C-alpha cells in the first residue's frame, strides 16, 4: 500500500500524466464506454445505463454526483436523461478537470462542479432530484454522516444510486478496512432512506479483474498511471473473491 498516492489530489495529478489511464484503461474496462467518460472508477457502460434508469430524473431535473471525480460518469448520466448536473468532489484537481472536460459532452449539457466533502457538500437542502455516488462511499470516515448528507440534499421522493463494494463476510480482516464492516443498505435505512435495494453485480467485477490482469501483463513502462494500477492490482486481486460488488438504490420518503 505504501506505493499508493496519499491523497486523491495526488492520484488525479498522476492521472493527468498518464497516457495509459486515459487511453488503455477505459476500453479494458468496457470497449463500449464512450471515450469522454474517462472514469476514475470501475463501472462499465451497462452500469451507467442502470444508474440512468435508477435516478428516475428527466429534462428539467437536477442530478447531484457526489464524489464526482473528473465528472465523466455524472455527465454521461445527466446527458443521457436530459437533466442538469452538479458534481461535488473533495479534490480540487478533480473538480478543475471535470470543469475543463464539460465541453467534451457537448454544448447542451448544463453541468457545474464544486469542491465539497462527502459529509458536507455545501449544497442546499432538497436541491437534488437524484443523487448518485460512484465508487466513493467506502472512503467516508463516517458513513452515517454521509448518508444523512445525501438524504439532506435530496428532495422528498428523490432517488439515491450508489455503487460500492462490501466484504462478503462482515468483519473480514483479510479485506481492506474500508470494506470490512461496510453494509451500505443498513447505513441508508438507519439514516432515513426507504425502498433500499442492494444488488450484486459480478459482471462488473469480471471487468475490474480484466483491467488488473492487463495492467500486470503489460510490458515495461514508465507510465505513472499504469504503475498506480499495478500497485492497486497487487492488493485488490487477492481480495476480490472475498468482496461483493454492489449497486444500491434508495429513496427519500415523499
94 binds ligand SAM (CB under 6 A): yes
3-state class of 166 per DSSP? strand
Sole binder of ligand SAM in the list 26, 44, 73, 224 (CB under 6 A) = 73
For residue 238, what are the CA distances in angstroms to 75, 131, 168, 175, 233? 33, 32, 14, 9, 8
Q: Tell me, what DSSP letter sits at residue 139?
A: G
CA neighbours closer than 13 Å in the CB half-sphere of residue 130: 28
3-state helix, strand, coil in the chain (%, to 5): 45, 20, 30
Interface with ligand SAM by CB under 6 A: which range of 84-92, 151-159, 213-221, 244-252?
84-92
CA distance 165 to 89: 20
139 binds ligand SAM (CB under 6 A): yes
Which phi and psi angles does 11 have, rounded to 5°?
A: -65, -40
Residue whose CB is less far from ligand SAM, 114 or 196: 114
Residue whose CB is less far from ligand SAM, 26 or 61: 26
67 binds ligand SAM (CB under 6 A): yes
The answer to whether 97 touches 12, Cβ cutoff 8 Å, is yes
Residue whose CB is less far from ligand SAM, 138 or 221: 138
**Minimum distance, C-beta of residue 244 to ligand SAM, in the bound complex (Å):** 17
The answer to whether 43 touches 135, Cβ cutoff 8 Å, is yes
21 binds ligand SAM (CB under 6 A): no
Judged by CB under 6 A, the chain residues 195 through 214 that form the site for ligand SAM are none
**Minimum distance, C-beta of residue 254 to ligand SAM, in the bound complex (Å):** 27
3-state class of 39 per DSSP? coil
CA distance 189 to 163: 16
225 binds ligand SAM (CB under 6 A): no
Name residue, grid cell 506505493: 3
Residue whose C-alpha is closest to residue 91's, from 71, 77, 112, 111? 71
By CB under 6 A, the count of residues binding ligand SAM is 19
Indicate the helix (H) or strand (E) that contains 94: helix 92-101
52 binds ligand SAM (CB under 6 A): no
Question: What angle in degrees, to the nearest 10, is found between the helix axes of 224-236 and 202-217?
Answer: 120
Sole binder of ligand SAM in the list 89, 149, 166, 223 (CB under 6 A) = 89
Residue whose C-alpha is closest to residue 163's, from 36, 67, 253? 67
117 binds ligand SAM (CB under 6 A): yes
Interface with ligand SAM by CB under 6 A: which range of 132-140, 150-158, 179-187, 230-238?
132-140
Sole binder of ligand SAM in the list 10, 16, 41, 109 (CB under 6 A) = 41
Residue whose CB is less far from ligand SAM, 16 or 117: 117
Interface with ligand SAM by CB under 6 A: which range of 14-22, 39-47, 167-175, 192-200?
39-47
**Residues near ligand SAM, by CB under 6 A:** 8, 39-41, 67-69, 72-73, 89-91, 94, 117-118, 134-136, 139
Amino acid at each position: 500500500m505504501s506505493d499508493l498516492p496519499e491523497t486523491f489530489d495526488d492520484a488525479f495529478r498522476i492521472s493527468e500524466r498518464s497516457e495509459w489511464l486515459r487511453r488503455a484503461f477505459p476500453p479494458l474496462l468496457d470497449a463500449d464506454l464512450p471515450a469522454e467518460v474517462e472514469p476514475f472508477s470501475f463501472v462499465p457502460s451497462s452500469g451507467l445505463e442502470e444508474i440512468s434508469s435508477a435516478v428516475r430524473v428527466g429534462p428539467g431535473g437536477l442530478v447531484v454526483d457526489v464524489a464526482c471525480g473528473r465528472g465523466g460518469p455524472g455527465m454521461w448520466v445527466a446527458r443521457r436523461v436530459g437533466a442538469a448536473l452538479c458534481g461535488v468532489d473533495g479534490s480540487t484537481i478533480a473538480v478543475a478537470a471535470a470543469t475543463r472536460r464539460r465541453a467534451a459532452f457537448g454544448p447542451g449539457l448544463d453541468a457545474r462542479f464544486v469542491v465539497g466533502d462527502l459529509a458536507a457538500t455545501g449544497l442546499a437542502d432538497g436541491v437534488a432530484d437524484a443523487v448518485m455516488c460512484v465508487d466513493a462511499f467506502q472512503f467516508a470516515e463516517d458513513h452515517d454522516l454521509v448518508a444523512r448528507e445525501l438524504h439532506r440534499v435530496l428532495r422528498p421522493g428523490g432517488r439515491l444510486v450508489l455503487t460500492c463494494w462490501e466484504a462478503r463476510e462482515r468483519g473480514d480482516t483479510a479485506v481492506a478496512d474500508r470494506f470490512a464492516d461496510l453494509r451500505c443498505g443498513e447505513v441508508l435505512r438507519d439514516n432515513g432512506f426507504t425502498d433500499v435495494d442492494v444488488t450484486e453485480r459480478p459482471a462488473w467485477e469480471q471487468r475490474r479483474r480484466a483491467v488488473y490482469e492487463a495492467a500486470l501483463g503489460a510490458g515495461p513502462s514508465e507510465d505513472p498511471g499504469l504503475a498506480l494500477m499495478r500497485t492497486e492490482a497487487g492488493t485488490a486481486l487477492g481480495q476480490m473473491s472475498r468482496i461483493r460488488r454492489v449497486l444500491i438504490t434508495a429513496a427519500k420518503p415523499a
